[in-house]
């Protein structure tokens, strides 16, 4: 279980502290798929980076599986079972896709085993398995390869920051199927997705809504999603929140 207590994060802006995350408390239990949504600039990606250890909080604590990990590094959190997929994937010159998936899994996977992860994210495995993870790949290809490596990690907590960004419509449909399968099989693991997409929101067990760095609502999908699609205050401020369109 992930437990966040009174978490805040501020940055220096012209000599003054600007709060990005404001006193957030929430729990992500095992065996659940949670989606964090809300208007652009609301603090969603920042919260994800705080969970992963990419950023350090100004105040508050983060507990994972009963351990205080608030000030542990990204590497230490990864060792404890927290995986993170960036909104903009990192390029690794000189490393083959096969090698990257093997590193992620921690096993000497056969090419066929590694290919199974690529197939899940809509890539023709034979065309990619021996390619380098460099500038020859498009942003969308890199995004899908990164998601494949995250799947190979099989982490206790997997955090996806807007996984739909930069991928084509067909691959997006395939990605939804991947998330559905994970949701149905996670049991003692949990998934946290940052997304504006209604189709991703519609497969969540629970939805968390952030606005201006504050948690304004959390609840089961059946309770929260109808308001987001309708006339809730969150949607009034950003009509694109459930359609994946940046209108803020």
- Give 127-160 pLDDT, tens digit per residue: 888 888 876 787 778 878 888 888 888 899 999 9
CA 107 to CA 227: how far, in whole Å? 44
Record the pTM. 0.82
DSSP3 helix / strand / coil % (the chain, rounded to 5): 35, 30, 35
The domain 29-59+68-237 is classified under which CATH number: 3.90.550.10, 3.30.70.3000, 3.40.50.300, 3.40.50.1110? 3.40.50.300
In this predicted model, what pLDDT tens digit does every residue of 53-79 receive, in sequence order?
A: 999 999 999 999 999 999 999 999 999
Q: What percent of the chain has pLDDT over 70?
A: 90
Q: Are 229 and 58 in contact (CB under 8 A)?
A: no
Residue 236 has pLDDT above 50, yes or no: no
Phi, psi of 226 (to 5 degrees): -55, -35
Name residue, tokens 């502290």: 17
pLDDT band at 86 (very low <50, low <70, confident <90, very high): confident
In this predicted model, what pLDDT tens digit does every residue of 12-55 receive, in sequence order?
A: 877 788 899 999 999 999 999 999 999 988 999 999 999 999 99
Choice between 90 and 186, residue whose per-residue pLDDT is larger: 186
**What confidence score (pLDDT) does residue 118 get?**
87
**What confidence score (pLDDT) does residue 89 get?**
64
**What confidence score (pLDDT) does residue 148 get?**
87
**What confidence score (pLDDT) does residue 88 get?**
65
């Amino acid at each position: 279980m992930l437990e966040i207590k009174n978490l805040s994060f501020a940055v220096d802006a012209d000599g003054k502290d600007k709060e990005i995350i404001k006193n957030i408390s929430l729990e992500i239990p095992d065996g659940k798929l949670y989606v964090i949504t809300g208007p652009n600039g609301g603090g969603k990606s920042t919260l994800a980076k705080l969970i992963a250890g990419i950023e350090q909080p100004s105040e508050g604590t983060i507990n994972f599986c009963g351990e205080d990990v608030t000030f542990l590094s990204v590497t230490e959190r990864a060792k404890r079972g927290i995986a993170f997929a960036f909104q903009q994937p990192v390029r690794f010159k000189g490393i083959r896709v096969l090698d990257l998936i093997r590193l992620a899994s921690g096993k000497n996977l056969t090419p066929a085993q590694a290919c199974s992860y690529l197939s899940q994210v809509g890539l023709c495995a034979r065309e990619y398995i021996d390619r380098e993870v460099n500038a020859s790949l498009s942003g969308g290809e890199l995004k899908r390869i990164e998601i494949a490596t995250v799947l190979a990690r099989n982490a206790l907590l997997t955090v996806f920051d807007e996984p739909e960004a930069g991928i084509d419509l067909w691959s997006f449909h395939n990605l939804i199927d991947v998330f559905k399968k994970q949701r149905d099989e996670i049991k003692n693991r949990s998934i946290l997705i940052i997304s504006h997409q209604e189709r991703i929101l519609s497969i969540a067990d629970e939805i968390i809504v952030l606005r201006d760095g504050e948690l304004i609502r959390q609840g089961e999908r059946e309770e929260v999603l109808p308001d987001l699609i309708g006339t809730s205050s969150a949607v009034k401020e950003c009509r694109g929140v459930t359609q994946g369109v940046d209108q803020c």
